[in-house]
A and B are shown apart, each in its own frame.
Chain A
């Protein structure tokens, strides 16, 4: 079983749509959770951290369910510029491995 699993997509949505991505992780000791964004042929960049209480940053909302080991990202009012691959990322306890990435979910927002 992969440590971080995501639906690879692609998700093809029209501008203005709401889209949700899900991710599951296998290690219950995971401590920190993130969504990274990666544009085609570019490096990953941090989109947002994910907190147990849920958090929002503009059009983006992230949720964490530790009991189910499940992370989600919701994008409202999709823009063409949101087209990218979204990587679900977890961080194991300090002193151990660095970030563990999912394979990513590709989003294509269409005009």
Chain B
């Protein structure tokens, strides 16, 4: 079974530029998550989708971050404009359960973003 796919794996941009990350979850998984992991910290949830609807985006900095999952499958996360403090690994995860409750979450390899 193919895992969660993410691209690009690495991205270096200058502050105030824009960047977009892509995620393709495991086939059939209804719930998709984007996490931000800053060096030395645990992952922090940015947004959770169930199919193509947003379940939780309370920790998403909406002035600069946006995400969509238009067809309920793959998803994109965008940052515009980027700040130095956005340097982190952006992890996408998916789980099969409709409510995204206690099912195991499977993580992709992440996109490592460096903002200069």
Contact = CB atoms under 8 A, between A and B. Distances in A.
Interface of A: 4, 8, 31-32, 42-46, 87, 89, 91, 94-104
Contacts of B33: 98-99
Contacts of B109: 42-43
A32 B102 CA distance: 7
Interface string B21-60: 0000000000001000000111111001000000110110
B48 A97 contact: yes
A98 B99 contact: no
A87 B41 CA distance: 10
B102 A95 contact: no
Interface string B87-116: 000010000000111101101111000000
Given A43-B110, A95-B99, A96-B56, A101 B42 contact: yes
Interface residues of B, number: 23
Q: Which 3 A-B pairs have the closest CB atoms?
A: A101-B42, A43-B107, A94-B101
B56 A101 contact: no
B63 to A, nearest CB: 20
A43 B108 contact: yes
Contacts of A44: 43, 91, 107
A99 B45 contact: yes
